Amino acid sequence: MNLSLIRIIAGATFRESFRSKSFVMLLVLYLAGTCIAPIVGWISGTDGSIVTADLIFSLLSIVGVLVATATGTALVHTEIKQHTLYTVLSRPIHRWQFVCGKYLGLCAALIAGQLIMLATGLTMMALNGLSLHIGLLWAGLLITLEVCIMAAVSLTWTALSSPLLAAVFSLATYAVGHFVHGLPGLMYHLEGVQIMLVAGLASLIPDLGYYAYRNEAIYGMPAGSDELIALPYALCWITLLLFITTSVIRRKQL
C-alpha cells in the first residue's frame, strides 16, 4: 500500500514536471546551446572540438541544475497555493510518502530530460566530427547524479523558505558545492581549530566536485577514485536531505 501511494504521487509529479513551462523552456535553451556550440568552437582561437565539447557538457550541467531548481522549488509551493496538498494529506498517507513520491517523480522527469539532452549533445558532437568514447557517457551520467542531488537540495530549501529564497539558496549550494572539492588544497595556511571549523562547515554542503568529471572526459582521461564513490555519496546525501525535508514538513501546520 505504501509503495502504491508513492508510485501514484511520483507518476503525477513526473507528468506535472515534464509539462511545466520552465522545464520545457530550459530544454529548448539547451538545444539552442548545442546548435551554437560548434560555431563557438569554430571561431575560437584554440582547439574547436575541445571548446565545442566543453560547452555542450557545461550546458548539460548548468541547464540540468536550473531545471532541478526551478521545478523542485515550485512543486510543494504550487500544491499549497492551489490547495491540492490539503486534499492529498487528508487521505491516509504519511508525509514521508508524499515527500518521497514528489522527489521520485521529479527525479524521473529530470533523468529523462538529462538523457534527452545528453543524446542531443553527443549527436551534435558526432555530426561535427568529434570523436565519442565511453568517458563522455560516464561524464553525462555523473552530471545526472549531480542534478538528482540538486533536486533533493531544492526540495529541502523549499520546505525551509519561500520559493524565491529556495531558488537562490539552491544555486548558492551548487556554487559552493563545487568550491568545496578544492578546499583541502586551500587550507595550507590554516592550523588547529581553524582547520576543524572550515572542515566542519564544508561537511554541511554536498561536495559536487565528485561529479565534475566532464573536463577529464573531454580530454580522454580515465576516471579516478573520486568518480567511483559518486553513487554511494549521492545516495547518502539524497537520503539525508529527504529526511530533513520530511521532518520540516511534518512540523508545518498544513
Question: pLDDT digit string (tens) for 210-252?
Answer: 888 888 888 877 776 666 788 899 999 999 999 999 888 777 6
pLDDT of residue 95: 78
- Non-local CB neighbours of 217 within 8 Å, separated by 6+ positions: 57, 133, 135, 136, 138, 139
pLDDT at 84 over 60: no
Please indicate whether residue 123 or residue 1 has the higher confidence score (pLDDT): 123
Question: pLDDT digit string (tens) for 41-66?
Answer: 778 766 667 888 888 999 999 999 99
Torsion-angle region of residue 53: left (phi > 0), alpha (psi -120 to 50) or beta? alpha
Helix (H) or strand (E) holding 116: helix 95-127
Q: Residue 233 and residue 235: Cα distance in Å, rounded? A: 6
Q: Residue 123 and residue 132: Cα distance in Å, rounded? A: 9
For residues 241 and 156, the answer to whether their CB atoms sit within 8 Å is yes
How far, in whole angstroms, is CA 253 from its chain's centroid? 29
pLDDT of residue 109: 92
Q: Which residue has the cell 569554430?
A: 42
The predicted model scores a pTM of 0.87
How far, in whole angstroms, is CA 107 from its chain's centroid? 9
Pull the grid cell for residue 8.
Answer: 501514484
Report the pLDDT averaged over residues 181-199: 65
179, 193, 194, 203 from 198: Cα distances, Å: 13, 9, 6, 9
Quickly state the pLDDT bin for 116 (edges 50, 70, 90): very high
Give the CA angle between residues 206, 211, 215 to the nearest 5°. 140
What amino acid is encoded at 163 in this protein?
A: P
User: Please, which contacts does 46-52 make with residues 24 or more away whose CB atoms are closer than 8 Å?
Assistant: 49/128, 49/129, 49/130, 49/131, 50/218, 50/219, 52/125, 52/128, 52/130
For residues 227 and 241, the answer to whether their CB atoms sit within 8 Å is no
Torsion-angle region of residue 186: left (phi > 0), alpha (psi -120 to 50) or beta? alpha
Instruction: Give the percent of the chain with pLDDT over 90.
Output: 27
Q: Residue 21 and residue 27: Cα distance in Å, rounded? A: 10
pLDDT of residue 75: 74
DSSP secondary structure, 164-194, as one string: HHHHHHHHHHHHHHHHHTTGGGG-TT--THH
pLDDT of residue 42: 79
Q: How many CA atoms lie within 13 A of 31 on its CB side?
A: 9
